[in-house]
Structure 1
């Protein structure tokens, strides 16, 4: 499972998801983190500038995610992601590792 966390600095979870220039991308396999990378989006790749849904852009760095974790998100973006089958988790946590650990616990249950 591929998940993304809005994080411009690669260390903390942020909000302003549509305009967020950086994301931590986690690959989970059998409830374990297999990889973690930080990607920077270009202006054209920002979710607020992306025409159509994410699924229409298979080359996008966030393509294929199943879950997006963030602090806040507008309704339009939330609807776009849900339309693509991407679940959104709004959290007040700041530590990405802690958020991923909680997701793994839910997946294991």
Structure 2
């Protein structure tokens, strides 16, 4: 499973997915430690919030999922149209969260953010 993790510091899971410009790209099978295969460090105009084009770098990575601490409806809908599921969580460790997601284990529920954000894990399978 190929997973992008929002991580402004490249160490922990961070929120505001639509404004995030840094992503850890992981391969995870749910049985062993995920492998970091890439990092995205995008310029400010390439955050999903700012970018309005069709060929965003996130869409070209063959992603199955994005893990974040918070995401607005617009971010979720744009990624959904590309076949990418968004999972919001209160977890902070990218490797543990990716392992759990790939193994089908539920992620810790995301903390409440603001009115635009959506709780995403209620129907996680």
Give the strand-richer structure, 1 or 2.
1
TM-score (norm 1): 0.80
Match of 1:20 in 2: 20
Residue correspondence of structure 1 range 1-109 to structure 2 within 5 A: 1-28=1-28, 32=32, 33-52=34-53, 56-57=54-55, 60-61=57-58, 63=60, 64-106=62-104
CA distance in 1, matches of 2:40, 2:55: 16
TM-score (norm 2): 0.71
Q: State the aligned residue count.
A: 103
Cα root mean square deviation, aligned: 2.2
Give the helix-richer structure, 1 or 2.
1
Consecutive unaligned residues of structure 1, counting only runs of 5 or more, are none
Instruction: Tell me by how many angstroms 1:73 deviates.
Output: 0.6
Consecutive unaligned residues of structure 2, counting only runs of 5 or more, are 106-125
